[in-house]
Amino acid sequence: MDRTERFYKIDQMLQGGLSVSFAKLQESLGISRAQLKRDLTYMRDRFNAPIDYDRDSNGYRYGQQRSGPRYSLPGLWFSASEIHALLTMQHLLENLQPGLLTPHIKPLLARFAAILGSGDHSQEEVARRVRVLHMAARELKHEGFAVVATATLNRRRLKIRHYNRNEDRETERTISPQRLVHYRDNWYVDAWCHLRNDLRSFAVDAIRAAEPVDERAKDIPKAELDEILKGGYGIFGGKKVTWAKLRFSPRAARWVATQSWHSKQKSETDKGGSYILSLPYSNDRELIMDILKFGPDVEVLEPVALRKRVREQLAAAAKLYR
């Protein structure tokens, strides 16, 4: 039984108004005399619990409320292990995009800190023991994220000003946000674009302005969303899907064989130890980026068009090193 559970047990035993002996408390909690004394002191000092010692009955009971904050245990009661798990989860979420959640969960974290105190598993200790590394995460202002997230959950349309990095230009459009996606350290919103009359994925950091529209968002069935936006490779979706076939060297196979590149991928290992990976894609941009990371340890077998595109990229890169 951890400390928070002991506090709850002590509170239950004293609620009846009768005096409870030190020995009975100690036996019920299964702790040492010194630990029980520390727990009672902590409840008095931290929660302002009106725990009195009754000399006549040689026991403890709840007495008159002391001055200061009214005694009460936290409304949400978690065990220490559950709080540690929640603090770890909070730390991970905070590191997904610093600042996005802090204003909303700060009061809850303060309550957790009050329960845990400054022991070995405080919020600060969790932050020291959990390290999150980012790769190519783009800056995102939490105000803009909040507008997009609120509209998504409230099922409202958004008027946005979107920056297209490929074309280096901005366009204004109205979208019906369907869901938020966190992918490779960045946030995207899958949405119905009323300008293009089609489904699109927008990088939230590329939305330079967003304004809620007083009109209900157009709802797209999940099956249709998944078919169009999850059928391709990575963040790029599309209705037309082509299958790629890649052959990884035995050395690269030790890593790639344990990875999931696509939910519908197929794989096999040939007699020479090479790893053959087949997967669908609709836009080859991101797939080519991942293929190039493996350099000479991967070969595109099919289709011919993808093989040609990769060869052109490698040739262009080789020119830079002549």
Tell me: cis bond preceding 303? Omega within 30 of 0 counts.
yes
- Is-contact 151 157, C-beta < 8 A? yes
pTM (2 d.p.): 0.66
Q: What is the mean pLDDT of residues 110-118?
A: 58
Residue from 255, 260, 298 nearest 279 by CA? 260
- Note the pLDDT tens digit of each residue in 205-261: 999 999 999 999 999 999 998 888 877 888 877 788 999 999 999 999 999 999 999
pLDDT digits (tens, 9 = 90+) for 249-303: 999 999 999 999 998 999 999 999 999 999 999 999 999 999 999 999 999 999 9
Q: What is the 3-state secondary structure (H, E, C) of the chain?
A: CCHHHHHHHHHHHHCCCCCEEHHHHHHHHCCCHHHHHHHHHHHHHHHCCCEEEECCCCEEEECCCCCCCCCCCCCCCCCHHHHHHHHHHHHHHHHHCCCCCHHHHHHHHHHHHHHHCCCCCCHHHHHHHCCCCCCCCCCCCHHHHHHHHHHHHHCEEEEEEEEECCCCEEEEEEEEEEEEEEECCEEEEEEEECCCCEEEEEEHHHEEEEEEEEEECCCCCHHHHHHHHCCCCCCCCCCCCEEEEEEECHHHHHHHCCCCCCCCCEEEECCCCCEEEEEEECCHHHHHHHHHCCHHHEEEEECHHHHHHHHHHHHHHHHCCC
More confident residue, 316 or 95: 316
Write down all domains in the chain, each with its CATH number in brackets: 3-62 (1.10.10.10), 80-129 (no CATH), 142-229 (2.30.30.530), 242-319 (no CATH)
Weakest-pLDDT range from 23-27, 118-122, 171-175, 269-273? 118-122
